[in-house]
Chains A and B, each alone.
Chain A
Amino acid sequence: MSALTAVSGVNYTKYAAGGMSNFVTQQWANNLQMVHDEYTVPAGDTVAVSTYINMGRVPKGARVLFFIFTNSGSGAASTGGIRIGEVAATAVAALTDMTSATTQVLGSLIAFSGTPLAAESKVDILLTSDADLDAATNITLTTVYIQDGVGL
């Protein structure tokens, strides 16, 4: 057993072996990509607890890095989690109290950044608190990812 003091990531190892030209992959000097979606609760309706709100799809091969969530103020203390392919990509109540207008930037769990998606997958928000999302609440969700298979 060793207590390591100098180690390298997978891509840095390529760089160390062959310089920048060996390092160039789709995981270097490539562009971030995103899926943006928005939803407004219809007048006179609410979105009930345990409902999921579909908010776009990310393609096969994506490594999802983080999310940007905004809401206009739901009037109730709704919370929620973000899922990809109906698997938790954040903590189940990572979207905290939405009573007032909020913006949150949330990293994904490593299951979605460490491994590219094996298939195109739905992004949704699962409401997890005991408070409904009130009428006219407007939410946006931007899912930011890198594509493990497209690029340089």
Chain B
Amino acid sequence: MSALTAVSGVNYTKYAAGGVANLVSQQWMAPLEFVFDEYTVPTGDTVAVAGVISFGVVPKGARVLFHVITYTAAGAAATGTIKVGTTTSASVTSMVAAGSQVLGALIASSGTPTTADSVVTLTIAAQDLDAATNITLTTVYIQDGIGISAT
């Protein structure tokens, strides 16, 4: 067992072995990509606790980095869980007042690329989402398979 004092990431190791030319990959100097979607609860309806809102699809090979959610006042202290496919990615705190949250994705979403096109969902918890509540959800990811290539 060692108490390591200087270590390198996977991509930095490539750089150290061969300079920038060796580092160039889809995980370097490639653009951030996103999926944007929005939903408004119909007049007279609510979205129930445990209700699921589908917010777009991220492609196979995506590493999801973070989510940006904005909302009008939900009227009740609804919270939620964002999932990418079946993987929990982030937790949304109370939406009782209008606001926004920038939420880093859990490493399950960023550390491993998706193996198939995956639906992004928000599962409501704690309280219902009231009628006319408007939500936008932007999911930001890098694509592990498209981008600048050294070859």
Contact = CB atoms under 8 A, between A and B. Distances in A.
A28 B36 contact: yes
Given A23-B56, A110-B136, A146 B51 contact: no
Q: Chain B interface residue count: which class? A: 35 or more
A9 B69 contact: no
Contacts of A28: 35-36, 56-57
Contacts of A23: 56-57
Interface in B40-66: 41-42, 44-48, 50-57, 59
A109 B37 contact: no
Interface in B5-60: 31-39, 41-42, 44-48, 50-57, 59
B100 A32 contact: no
A7 B52 CA distance: 6
Contacts of A107: 68-70, 99-102
A11 B98 contact: no
A52 interface: no
A73 to B, nearest CB: 23
Interface in A14-57: 15-16, 20, 23, 27-32
Nearest to A89: B100
B56 A3 contact: no
Interface string B99-122: 111100000000000000101000
Interface string B112-138: 000001010000000010000011111
Interface of B: 31-39, 41-42, 44-48, 50-57, 59, 68-72, 98-102, 117, 119, 128, 134-138, 140
Given A12-B37, A109-B100, 5 more contacts: A6-B54, A7-B54, A11-B55, A12-B56, A16-B54
The 5 nearest A-B residue pairs measured at CB: A107-B100, A9-B37, A3-B48, A110-B70, A31-B31
Interface of A: 1-12, 15-16, 20, 23, 27-32, 63, 65-66, 105-110, 113-114, 146
